Amino acid sequence: MGVLSKEDPELAALLVREQERQRSTLQLIASENFTSAAVLEATGSVLTNKYAEGYPGRRYYGGNAVVDEVESLAIERARALFRAPWANVQPHAGANANAAAYLALLAPGDPVLAMRLDQGGHLTHGSPVNFSGQLYRFVGYGVRQEDPNREWLDLDQLADLARAHHPRLIVVGATAYPRVIDVTPIRAIADEVGARVLFDAAHVAGLIAAGVYPNPLWLASGERGADVVTFTTHKTLRGPRGAAIVGHEDVAKAIDKAVFPGLQGGPLEHAIAAKAVAFREAASPSFRDYGRRVVANAQTLAASLEAEGFRLVSGGTDVHLILVDLRDFDPELDGKTAQDLLDAAGITLNRNQIPFDPRSPFVTSGLRLGTAALTTTGMGEEEMKRVGSLIATVLRARTDEVVREVRQQVRELCAAFVPPGLAS
């Protein structure tokens, strides 16, 4: 930050503070990760200077010969990584990717099935304050309330709702669901009622790339799974902030038009270059090992928290994400209080509603944790056990003295595991 420090010392100082925060605290937010230095370099590259409305070979400005090669490389790598017949790497964010798919596949007012927000779904899966809930008629499916398989996806409910509402689209995927979702039975339900399937893989794209989560584009039989898969590139995929869409050829033309000119203008080619870097990294053998370690770390952290007296939603995790019900640990402890206490101790995570939560989404009875970022730093299962113990220590004591003691332990732990992109 030599130039920035001279040109804008005020902003440079803020970035230094943020870098120190990232290096000295435990990053357990499930939707965050650390990029490589190569991804950071591409994100800050000269491609920031280029305007490139359109697609490779079909631009509305001159001077795009190099940009066309960059974007084509990103498309080629995305297709290979997800075994996809088609890919679009232009969406600026996951919400944009979902919006493009809806615009291409639906008409305003069409019925859509998606996971309920209070049971794991996402804002763009039909929230009434979001464009999705305002433009389309979303019907929410959820998880089981009763044993067996409490808090696992209720496929019987999904099937009944599909038969009752005849949706044009079934949206699969979640932002706070700790289990693998098998697209096979959902594909069968969709075929029965004449619906398409969109799999929102924002959280699990990196696990799919690593081979530790089933590729929703294809069934185990080799037949077609989801029609289209949207995903962000900055969570488990460990790339820049942004998104992409992959799918089958019969949706390609409509979604390409929905992205541009339907929703977005000039693509962020510097971000697309960084996506290309991330796709290349995710295709490596070391990334497959990384994916396995992310899941192993999540399961170890989950077991540690369970041993400390926390209840795990659905009984555990298959992925990078853990959803904790605080009420067994302490009925009076809410998610907002727990999040604030842990943040003061250098443990960064987020409060989250649990299924059938009696508390509001601003308070909640739960916490959501993820292991993708800590795994990137090199932490393993022994560190996960320690993290679980530190969380329990803070939430049991809830005193300034204990918070300060844990904050120091967190600093010492983080000093031994510096994120690769922040090593210098």
232 is catalytic: yes
Task: Out of 260, 283, 306, pick the residue that ends a domain.
Answer: 283
Q: How confident is the model at residue 142 (pLDDT cuts 50, 70, 90)?
A: very high
My answer on whether 268 and 312 are in the same domain is no
* Known catalytic membership, residue 235: yes
pLDDT 10s digits, 45-80: 999 999 999 999 999 999 999 999 999 999 999 999
> Looking at the domain assignment, is residue 424 inside a domain?
no
Asked if 370 and 27 count as a contact pair (C-beta separation under 8 A), the reply is: no
- Please tell me whether residues 278 and 293 are part of one structural domain: no
Residues with Cβ within 8 Å of residue 64, at least 6 apart in sequence: 50, 52
**Domain for residue 19, yes or no?**
no
Does 207 lie in the same domain as 356?
Answer: no
Q: Are residue 165 and residue 140 in the same domain, yes or no?
A: yes
Q: Residue range 293-307: average pLDDT?
A: 98
pLDDT of residue 421 exceeding 90: no
From the list 124, 175, 230, 232, the catalytic residue is 232
Residue in 32, 53, 110, 343 annotated catalytic: 53
**pLDDT band (50, 70, 90) for residue 253:** very high
Whether 31 is in a domain gets the answer: no
Mark which of 259, 283, 307 sits at the end of a domain: 283
Task: Say whether pLDDT at 362 is over 80.
Answer: yes
Residue 337 forms part of a structural domain: yes
Q: Are residue 215 and residue 266 in the same domain, yes or no?
A: yes
Question: 424 pLDDT exceeds 70?
Answer: no
The band of 1, judged by pLDDT with boundaries at 50, 70 and 90, is low
Pair 357, 225 in one domain: no
Q: What angle do CA 201, 31, 186 make, to 5 degrees?
A: 25
Mean pLDDT of 398-407: 98
Parent domain of 99:
41-283
The average confidence (pLDDT) of the chain is 97
Question: What is the model's pLDDT at position 422?
Answer: 85
Catalytic residue among 50, 168, 179, 235: 235
CATH number at residue 402: 3.90.1150.10
Residues annotated within a binding site for (6S)-5,6,7,8-tetrahydrofolate: 117, 121-123, 249, 360-362
* Identified catalytic residue from 71, 151, 154, 200: 200
Reported as a single tens digit per residue, the pLDDT across 199-232 is 999 999 999 999 999 999 999 999 999 999 999 9
32 has a pLDDT exceeding 90: yes
23: annotated active-site residue:
no
Instruction: Indicate whether 235 and 354 sit together in one domain.
Output: no
257: annotated active-site residue: no
Q: Quote the distance between the C-alpha of residue 35 and its chain's center.
A: 14
* Binding site feature residues: 117, 121-123, 249, 360-362
Catalytic residue among 32, 51, 116, 411: 51
Whether residues 63 and 115 fall in one domain:
yes
Give pLDDT tens digits for 86-136.
999 999 999 999 999 999 999 999 999 999 999 999 999 999 999 999 999
Question: Which candidate in 241, 288, 386, 396 is catalytic?
Answer: 241
What is the DSSP secondary structure assignment for residue 262, as one 8-state letter?
Answer: I
Six-digit token pair at 28? 């357990």
- Asked if residue 33 belongs to a domain, the reply is no
CA distances to 150, 159, 170, 181, 362 from 165, in Å: 25, 10, 11, 22, 31
pLDDT tens digits for 78-94? 999 999 999 999 999 99
Total structural domains within the chain: 2
Q: Could you tell me if 323 and 392 lie in one domain?
A: yes
Q: Where are the beta strands (DSSP E) in 307-406?
A: 311-312, 321-325, 347-348, 350-352, 366-370
Residue 364 has pLDDT above 70, yes or no: yes
**26 occurs within a structural domain:** no
By percentage, how much of the chain surpasses pLDDT 90?
A: 98
In a domain, 396, yes or no: yes
Of 228, 252, 283, the residue at which a domain comes to its end is 283
If asked whether residues 331 and 393 sit together in one domain, one would say: yes
The pLDDT of residue 115: 98
200 is an active site residue: yes
Nearest to 344 by CA among 21, 32, 15, 33: 21
Same domain, 275 and 293: no
Evaluate whether 384 touches 26 at the Cβ level (below 8 Å). Answer: no
Structural domain includes residue 421: no
What's the whole-number mean pLDDT along residues 29-44?
A: 97
CATH number of the domain where residue 206 is located: 3.40.640.10
51 counts as catalytic? yes
Domain match, 182 and 196 both: yes
